[in-house]
Amino acid sequence: MVLDTRLIVGLGNPGKEYENTRHNIGFLTVAALAEKLRIKPSRLTQQSLVGEGQWGGMKVVIAQPQTYMNLSGSAVRGLVRSYRPEQSSLLVVFDDLDLPLGKLRMRKSGGAGGHKGMESIIESLGTPEITRLRIGVGRPETKSSVVGYVLSRFDPEEQEILQQVVDQAVQGILVWLKRGLNPAMNQVNSWPEKPRAKKEEPPAE
């Protein structure tokens, strides 16, 4: 029996120096998804760290390209050729400067929006018809600091919000896997713009 294959690709940069940076929120999200589905991304293939498993009667492939962000298309093209998912069964997860931290957007197609990783994927696959989950990381105050900003880590207050955002993104991907794109978009795109960090309760007197 041949199972329907779903390919979920989280974008980021490999290497310790890039761990937990804003530009690696795609990596963080698919890692959390893999843990949720008990899939271990442990194999290097098609320039990506890949894990495979079964969930909900389908084959789920979770990948983190190891090419660095700007060359993500080369890895994704190889993964698509290797696993041969239907076009609608590919989902790319990545950070978005134009959305505030806490805002999620799922769409079935569109441009790259200035994101070099997505730009590379669209060019390599030859189509903008790629389902994507954009995760807001906010934008710095000055354009000159964009590169430094996306390669920076979240501050302590943002860390708590980040965990909520990643959890919400994972839940959205699970809806996409189980029920399809439209229910997933309805759920993901209606989430609040900015989850609040929990306030510490004052100590009892």
State residue 10 phi and psi, 5-degree precision. Answer: -100, 130
3-class secondary-structure state, position 164: helix
Q: From the candidates 8, 13, 14, 23, which is the catalytic residue?
A: 23
Q: How do beta strands 58-65 and 104-107 pair?
A: unpaired
> Residue 23's closest CA among 68, 54, 53, 84?
68
Contact 81, 89 (CB under 8 A): no
Is 115 labeled as catalytic in the residue annotation? no
Contact 30, 76 (CB under 8 A): no
Residues taking part in catalysis: 23
